[in-house]
Amino acid sequence: MRHNSMSAKLLMEVSDRFQGAELFHRESADLMHFLGFLGFSLLHEYQLLSESIEQRRVKRYITSTYHVYLPDLIPESAGLAAQLLEGKDRLEISCEEVATILKHAFEVYAEWEENTLELYQKVAADLLKSGEISAFHFVSEIVRDVKEELTAINDMIIGFNAMDWDKAQIQAEQNTYFERYEKLARELLSGSQGIVAPSTRPTS
């Protein structure tokens, strides 16, 4: 029983990180919308939906596998937008300031995912050491998804560095990002990506 409890607590570290991710993406979506980058705003709204769905999946796994209830750790706001905007409204921010804020926001995004990846890899390794093979594979799937997201973010940063974070050029790409993440969000909400696992559906 103690062994199961420790494994469940390890998985709760993943669940709690998802809670933090939801808050991070919510604040980032607000920031991008404020700056007028609607494609990036929808990117973060899509990630918010995805993280929420994944967090619920982790909690269901913990309950189904270990038969325990562990409360969520609700994070506090990091105040990302407030720190970057310094109380200014849209009309007070120059194009140069927008570029600086946007660059910093993406750097923070990449750092968040790097730290997330490090945490999830540690949890997976600890589960493997304790002989929790099924849980190890479960978390390894999440690790793979984070790696893919981090790669995508870094590729975007490289591209924006190449254009010196020019607001006009980045703004011209917003429709492409918007259409991409609108499609992904619709797929996510339609259940085509398996929002509810068959084992969690009620039986008649």
CATH number of the structural domain spanning residue 158: 1.20.1260.10
What pLDDT does 16 receive? 95
Q: Does residue 114 lie within any of the structural domains?
A: yes
Q: Does residue 201 lie within any of the structural domains?
A: no
What pLDDT does 198 receive? 45
Return the amino acid letter for 16: D
Alpha-carbon dihedral 40, 192, 17, 132, rounded to 10 degrees? -150
Residue 120 and residue 17 in contact, taking contact as beta carbons nearer than 8 Å: yes
For the stretch 161-191, pLDDT in tens is 999 999 999 999 999 999 999 999 999 988 7
Q: Does residue 198 lie within any of the structural domains?
A: no
Q: Does residue 61 lie within any of the structural domains?
A: yes
What pLDDT does 133 receive? 94
What pLDDT does 3 receive? 53
Alpha-carbon distance of 133 to 115, in angstroms, equals 24
Q: Does residue 154 lie within any of the structural domains?
A: yes
Alpha-carbon distance of 147 to 168, in angstroms, equals 30
Q: Does residue 169 lie within any of the structural domains?
A: yes
At residue 37, the 3 state secondary structure works out as coil
What pLDDT does 65 receive? 93
* Number of domains the chain contains: 1
Residues of the chain short of pLDDT 70, as ranges, are: 1-4, 78, 192-204
> How many other β-carbons are positioned within 10 Å of the β-carbon of residue 167?
18
Alpha-carbon distance of 173 to 162, in angstroms, equals 14
Alpha-carbon distance of 121 to 103, in angstroms, equals 27
* Structural domain that includes position 24: 2-192
Q: Does residue 137 lie within any of the structural domains?
A: yes
Q: Does residue 102 lie within any of the structural domains?
A: yes
What pLDDT does 82 receive? 79
**Start-end of H helices in 36-164:** 38-66, 80-85, 95-129, 133-162
What pLDDT does 204 receive? 40
Give the total residue count for the chain: 204
Return the amino acid letter for 83: Q
What pLDDT does 86 receive? 81
Residue found under tokens 């105040």:
79
Phi-psi region of 71 (alpha: psi -120 to 50; beta: other; left: phi over 0): beta
